[in-house]
Amino acid sequence: MRVVAGIAKGRRLKRAIGRQIRPTPAKVKEALFNILADKILGSPFLDLFAGSGAIGIEAKSRGADRVVFVDNSTRAIRLIRDNISFCGFDQGCHVYQIDAFRALDALEKKREVFDLIFLDPPYKSDLGEKALMEILRYNILKESGEIIWEHYYKTKPTGDTAIKLKRTVRYGDTALSFFCY
């Protein structure tokens, strides 16, 4: 698992051992950032259900202004902090060990808003759909912002009337769905 581009290009990130943390496949990560290429620079970025932090670190490497990582696993948080430090991104990265839904509430109270929000909840769970609705409820996505949900390809995101599904792209068993207002 490497950083693909930007100032930390080529750095090999630590990965979790075991099945608790499922990293985004390299092919999917590269495709995601090719799609988001012109939207990253200077953007605040939220990596929800962050796992190893590889997606948020890639965003920071490519010029995201601020990256917030959220995961409730002690093991994941340790991994994220190690990877951030290894890449030299101690400035502009904030790591929270908290349940995703409690994090959304806390971020709203701090008046945080994001241009890009990446969701990678456990596959075959209903957490992605719930997170979409909660992000809208807490109003932490900028009007011109975008939510990207990585999910099992057979999961069919429905969204809400306030948010629209722009497109879904599939890479093997993984799909990325892009939402905006």
Residue 164 Cα distances to 26, 64, 132, 145, 160, angstroms: 27, 24, 11, 12, 7
Type of residue found at 49: F
Give the mean pLDDT of 96-119. 96
**Span 123-166, pLDDT tens digits:** 878 899 899 999 989 999 999 999 999 999 998 877 566 788 99
**Span 27-48, pLDDT tens digits:** 899 999 999 989 999 999 999 9
Q: What tokens does 68 get? A: 């917030």
Q: How many CB atoms lie within 10 A of CB 29?
A: 21
Bridge partner list, 178: 148, 167
For position 19, what pLDDT does the model report?
57
Which of 25-34, 64-73, 118-127 tops mean pLDDT?
Answer: 64-73
Q: What tokens does 147 get? A: 């939510």
Whether residue 51 has pLDDT greater than 80: yes
Long-range (24+ apart) CB contacts under 8 A made by 159-165 are: 159/132, 160/132, 160/133, 160/136, 162/136, 163/132, 163/136
Q: DSSP labels for 44-94?
A: EEEEET-TT-HHHHHHHHTT-SEEEEEES-HHHHHHHHHHHHHHT--TTEE
**pLDDT > 70: what percent of the chain?**
94
Instruction: Name the average pLDDT for the chain.
Output: 91
Delineate the domains of the chain, giving CATH numbers in brackets. 26-180 (3.40.50.150)
For position 18, what pLDDT does the model report?
54
Higher per-residue confidence, 95 vs 14: 95
